[in-house]
Amino acid sequence: MNFIETRGNDGQHPAEVSFSAAILSPMSSFGGIYVPKTLPQLGIPFLEKHLDADYKTLARAVLGAFEIDIDPAVIDKALATYDDFDDSNSPVPVIKVGDRLFVSELYHGPTRAFKDMALQPFGVVLSDLAQKRGEHYLILAATSGDTGPAALETFKNKPNVKVACLYPDGGTSDVQRLQMVTENAPNLKVIGIKGDFDDAQNALKLLLGSTSFRAKLQEKNTLLSAANSVNFGRIIFQVIYHIHSYLELVRQDAVALGDKVYLDVPSGNFGNALGGYYAMKMGLPVEKILIASNSNNVLTQLINNGKYDLRDRSVVATISPAMDILKSSNIERILFDLFGAERTKVLMQQLNNEKHYELTTEELARLQEIFAADYCDDTEGKNYIQAAFQDGYLMDPHTATCFKTHETSETEPQATIVYSTAEWTKFSPTIANALTGEVDAHDLDALKSIAKEANTAIPAPIEALFGKEVTQKTVIEKEDIEQEVLSFL
């Protein structure tokens, strides 16, 4: 399968590239990104065939359908990273929490967040490609809290790869920050920036598209790639767990094979939702994809009224910080799929230059055939956390936003799969406040309070973070990012 460009071709890039080329160099013409030229069609026969398949078997089949140019032995090695999850046989448990309401828990990997589902195998694939080509890569990552720890974990001590990870100083939870700043592998650099996630992501995209930066890297015999979801190497692994979660509902007799379901996704950069969209297009029976946001509700506005407007807006700090994003990268892939490269280029350039764009009435109608959206403010989120806990389920603030869309955005009596993107341990002060009224607790104190309230243990890797040495102390102005990265190399 080949990959093409979301904004058309500028004559300087190949018209089509392989999967390996797209993940090694993820930015394309006019600042666009890569998408599959076609999607494999799986449908009910595929689902029937894999009804009793374990997760890795299903993953091999989905990746095989994409016909990617990666050696099967490397794919096996990549998928073996799931053996280090809590349950190697079931890395993604799906739990019933209410009438027709199920939670797909994506956080049972080493960094306790859903980014492990894609980044753990992705790291193996990219490192193997670099070694086989005899090339050295700098991997850039910008994080709102979860991509960073997962990228650092998957690439640490990997040959032929160095990672520079940008995070907004003060814009993550303490646990997320500690997961990054206590990393001490020599091929990792963690950089706090004085700004928000959008600043970090904008810097990443500018560096990825900068010919002068690439030239400076070439002087150091280094090529450039990215671990953010602009890289399709992330997205392809995210398609799989949507298919798995549906099959889990069939196995639990919650739905009959072929019944449609709602996918209810907490959304910031839209990679998780995009994986569900591709699964739907490949034949997964989906009624609609529900997009849950926090008070940074640009996606809600886009889906409900067709306007993406960043004028007079700045990022609002919320209790669900991984979604504190205004410029959502993967919307571009949706625009391309629905409206084509020429229209996508116009819309994205207008957003970059004028900070807004507006869909036509017909375009909005097409978008709303697939998506519905709402947002959940912090007070509502805490109320959902408390209510779910009283019903026996402990969840994080990002998952809580989905409970709002479940209530407000469904029109058919179908089963709903909520995607839980992080373990409760990563946002303990918020959850302690929701459950016990505790205010301004330090993370470790809050973890202990929740563990006592829920009669559960604090996972050892999380508790151990608080005794680790902080080795990554760099915090800089966003204007100094390029020089800091070059100094690291």
Which helix H or strand E contains 324, and what residues bound it? none
DSSP class of 61: H
Which helix H or strand E contains 257, and what residues bound it? none
- Hey, where are the domains in the chain? 86-113+233-464
CB neighbours (10 Å) of residue 342? 11
State mean pLDDT over 171-194. Answer: 94
Gap between the Cα atoms of 230 and 33, Å rounded: 6
- Which architecture characterizes domain 86-113+233-464 according to CATH? 3-Layer(aba) Sandwich (3.40)
pLDDT at 440 over 80: no
Q: What is the residue whose two structure tokens read 């809050």?
A: 446
The pLDDT confidence band at residue 229, using thresholds 50, 70 and 90, is confident
State mean pLDDT over 258-279. Answer: 96
pLDDT at 468 over 80: yes
The answer to whether 415 and 255 have CB atoms below 8 angstroms apart is yes
The pLDDT confidence band at residue 318, using thresholds 50, 70 and 90, is very high
pLDDT at 204 over 90: no
pLDDT at 198 over 90: no
Which helix H or strand E contains 159, and what residues bound it? none
Q: What is the residue whose two structure tokens read 């996704």?
A: 265
- Edge-to-edge strand list for the sheet holding 137-142: 223-226, 137-142, 161-168, 188-193, 475-476
State mean pLDDT over 375-381. Answer: 98
219: its two tokens: 């002087």
CB neighbours (10 Å) of residue 410? 17
pLDDT at 422 over 80: yes
pLDDT at 33 over 90: yes
The pLDDT confidence band at residue 190, using thresholds 50, 70 and 90, is very high
User: pLDDT for 57-105, tens place per residue?
Assistant: 999 999 999 999 999 999 999 999 999 999 998 999 999 999 999 999 9
The answer to whether 148 and 426 have CB atoms below 8 angstroms apart is no
SS (H, E, C) 5-17: ECCCCCCCCCCCE
Which helix H or strand E contains 403, and what residues bound it? helix 397-408
The one-letter code for the residue type at 60 is R
Provide the pLDDT for residue 383: 98
The pLDDT confidence band at residue 243, using thresholds 50, 70 and 90, is very high
Helix (H, G, I), strand (E, B) or coil at 141: strand
Buried b (16+ CB within 10 A) or exposed e, 314-329: ebeebbbbbbbbbbbb
315: its two tokens: 């990022």
Question: How would DSSP label each residue in 220-235?
Answer: TT-EEEE-STTSHHHH
The region of weakest confidence among 70-84, 320-334, 396-410, 432-446 is 432-446
User: pLDDT for 129-170, tens place per residue?
Assistant: 999 999 999 999 999 888 899 999 999 999 999 999 999 998
The answer to whether 263 and 290 have CB atoms below 8 angstroms apart is yes
Number of H helices, E strands in the chain: 21, 16
Which helix H or strand E contains 373, and what residues bound it? strand 371-375
Gap between the Cα atoms of 42 and 246, Å rounded: 14
The answer to whether 172 and 321 have CB atoms below 8 angstroms apart is yes
Please report, to the nearest 10 degrees, the dihedral formed by the alpha carbons of residues 421, 5, 158, 170 taken in order.
-50
The pLDDT confidence band at residue 429, using thresholds 50, 70 and 90, is very high
Gap between the Cα atoms of 167 and 156, Å rounded: 17
State mean pLDDT over 318-329. Answer: 92
Provide the pLDDT for residue 205: 86
Strand 356-358 versus strand 307-309 pairing type: antiparallel
Per the prediction, the chain carries an average pLDDT of 95
The answer to whether 104 and 417 have CB atoms below 8 angstroms apart is yes
Percent of the chain past pLDDT 70, that is, above it, reads 100
pLDDT at 316 over 90: yes
Gap between the Cα atoms of 442 and 462, Å rounded: 14
Task: Pick the closest to residue 341 from 2, 15, 12, 1 (CA basis).
Answer: 15
